[in-house]
């Protein structure tokens, strides 16, 4: 199930969401420019749980920023084209409405807080892990959690791939995002936090954080569970 767009209009231009998309894209092109040195950059700017919790240290040549700052820098790095495109697609579709509900500045703070919670949700179960964590997935998961509570009845156009039988259909956001979260939760329960791969724990943690925090960040007068218009 691949979301393509929603039918949910906005009143504010999504300058923060677009800015985040631009920064993540520029950062990815910077990664590509590094060639064989990209792994060193990921070690330096990604979140390494063992380093974050003070159990290990990076070599001096890799310790470019304080360990706590890597929580932020890691949100702008990605592991490949599909990682980047998938994240930016979700941010483009759902981020504009969440930004509309909060305003530009609050949305940025909300995004970074959700990303931080997501990092901790992935790192705390494996505090000795030396596998670097990168990607905007956790922060964007928070955006999805907020969207679910704000606009559960909005319609989302999704592609359901079945080869020659692929279909484009509109589904309620509550179904699309609920199905997405269920997949993340099941994947988290089955994943080994000490092995490299997709950080499903960060996805689930960010999503829950978004749901819990949206009442605090939304503008006064913006309703939760907005009815379909």
Closest CA to 101 of 35, 151, 141, 153: 151
168 near 102, Cβ under 8 Å? Answer: no
pLDDT at 179: 83
pLDDT at 203: 85
CATH number at residue 33: 1.20.1540.10
In a domain, 222, yes or no: no
Closest CA to 180 of 218, 147, 222: 147
In a domain, 223, yes or no: no
Q: Write phi, then psi, for 5 (nearest 5 degrees).
A: -170, 165
Q: Cα–Cα distance between 183 and 185 in angstroms, integer?
A: 5
- Tell me the mean pLDDT per 10 residues along the chain, length 229: 92 97 98 95 95 94 94 94 90 97 98 96 91 92 96 94 86 90 66 55 89 96 83
Q: Which domain holds residue 23?
A: 2-217
pLDDT at 49: 95
Closest CA to 21 of 101, 126, 108, 114: 108
Closest CA to 83 of 127, 32, 123: 32
Question: Would residue 65 be called left, alpha or beta, if left means φ above 0 and alpha means ψ between -120 and 50 degrees?
Answer: beta
Q: Write phi, then psi, for 191 (nearest 5 degrees).
A: -85, 150
How many separate domains does the chain show?
Answer: 1
pLDDT at 185: 66
CA quadruple 155, 103, 185, 133: dihedral sign: positive
Structure tokens, 26? 């520029």
In a domain, 78, yes or no: yes
3-state SS of the chain: helix, strand, coil percent to 5? 60, 10, 30
pLDDT at 107: 98
In a domain, 25, yes or no: yes
In a domain, 163, yes or no: yes
**How far does Cα 36 stand from its chain's mean position?**
26
In a domain, 225, yes or no: no
pLDDT at 79: 87
Closest CA to 92 of 135, 29, 147, 134: 147
Q: DSSP secondary-structure letter at 20?
A: H
Give, to the nearest 10 degrees, the angle between helix 200-217 and helix 137-150. 50
- Three-class secondary structure of residue 98 per DSSP: helix
Using a cut of 0.95, tell me whether the model's pTM lies above it: no
């Amino acid at each position: 199930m691949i979301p393509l767009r929603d039918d949910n209009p906005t009143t504010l231009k999504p300058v923060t969401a677009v800015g985040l998309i631009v920064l993540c894209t520029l950062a990815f092109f910077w990664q590509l420019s590094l060639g064989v040195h990209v792994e060193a950059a990921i070690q330096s700017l990604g979140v390494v749980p063992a380093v974050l919790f003070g159990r290990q240290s990076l070599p001096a040549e890799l310790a470019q920023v304080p360990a706590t700052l890597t929580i932020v820098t890691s949100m702008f790095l990605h592991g490949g084209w599909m990682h980047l495109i998938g994240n930016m697609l979700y941010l483009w579709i759902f981020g504009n409405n969440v930004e509309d509900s909060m305003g530009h500045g609050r949305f940025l703070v909300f995004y970074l807080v959700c990303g931080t919670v997501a990092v901790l949700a992935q790192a705390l179960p494996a505090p000795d892990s030396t596998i670097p964590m990168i990607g905007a997935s956790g922060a964007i998961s928070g955006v999805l959690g907020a969207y679910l509570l704000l606009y559960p009845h909005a319609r989302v156009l999704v592609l359901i791939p079945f080869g020659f039988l692929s279909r484009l259909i509109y589904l309620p956001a509550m179904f699309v995002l609920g199905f997405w979260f269920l997949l993340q939760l099941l994947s988290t329960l089955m994943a080994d936090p000490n092995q490299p791969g997709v950080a499903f724990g960060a996805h689930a943690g960010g999503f829950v954080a978004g749901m819990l925090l949206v009442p605090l960040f939304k503008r006064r007068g913006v309703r939760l569970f907005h009815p379909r218009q």
